[in-house]
Amino acid sequence: DAGVIQSPRHEVTEMGQEVTLRCKPISGHNSLFWYRQTMMRGLELLIYFNNNVPIDDSGMPEDRFSAKMPNASFSTLKIQPSEPRDSAVYFCASSPTNLQGRDEKLFFGSGTQLSVL
Amino acid sequence: AQSVTQPDIHITVSEGASLELRCNYSYGATPYLFWYVQSPGQGLQLLLKYLSGDTLVQGIKGFEAEFKRSQSSFNLRKPSVHWSDAAEYFCAVAPKGSNDYKLSFGAGTTVTVRA
């Protein structure tokens, strides 16, 4: 299995531009998570999907952020308009189930390094 | 408030020496406990987790961790480190119950291995 695939690996954009990050979870996984990693705040859960349905988006910073999961094999995280403070590494992760308490685990992608100038 | 504390930001250890990374948590009840490792430019990989039962948990790559309820700690150990263990290590917790998908991560500890 190729693992969780994220694209692009690096994104450099100017303030005000729209940014779309993409994620392909591991086939058969029904849970998908978007995390953001910064030096100041560490790793933060942005949004959690289960069976393509957003279950918890309480971590999404503001209305400029939106996430979709149109099918089981694809998700996007969009920032519009982008701001310099959005610069971070964005990770997508998937899991076979929605319960960490079972003998399952999160599989992380390699992340997208976003720089907003 | 729930929190995860990793007191050591950076640890340097010699190859072959032992390693211990500290993790303390503040939670209403004993949560699920995890250790993840992140190599440069990579996503996180699960090393081990404590769900219940035996308080000494064995993981991959020769790591182990011990849950101590009285100290609210879940320290990670390795008897003899290899140069490939240089990475950033994250302790994480998740509440038991319907919100157990909500992992909260510590700030991380960067481990440098010197020859």
- What pLDDT, on the 0 to 100 scale, is given for residue B43? 87
Kindly report the nearest CA distance between residue A105 and chain B, in angstroms.
Answer: 7
Yes or no: say if B67 and B58 are a contact pair by the CB < 8 Å rule. Answer: no
- The per-residue pLDDT for A104 is 62
Number of residue pairs across A and B with CB atoms under 8 Å? 53
pLDDT tens across the length of chain A (117 residues): 679 999 999 999 999 999 999 999 999 998 999 999 998 888 999 999 999 999 999 999 889 999 999 999 999 999 999 999 999 999 999 988 755 555 567 899 999 999 999
3-state secondary structure chain A: CCCCEEECCEEEECCCCCEEEEEECCCCCCEEEEEEEECCCEEEEEEEEECCEEEECCCCCCCCEEEEEEECCEEEEEECCCCHHHCEEEEEEEECCCCCCCCCCCEECCCEEEEEC
Please say if the pLDDT value at position B19 is more than 90.
Answer: yes
Compute the average pLDDT of residues B75-82.
97
User: How far apart are alpha carbons B81 and B41 in whole angstroms?
Assistant: 21
The verdict on a CB contact (< 8 Å) between A91 and B51 is: no
Give pLDDT, residue A26: 94
- Cβ distance of A100 and B43 shorter than 8 Å: no
Closest A-chain CA to B39: A110
- Which of A4, A43, A46 is the best residue to mutate to test the B interface, defined by the most B CB atoms within 10 Å of its own CB? A43
Residue B21: per-residue pLDDT: 98
Q: Give residue A52's pLDDT.
A: 94
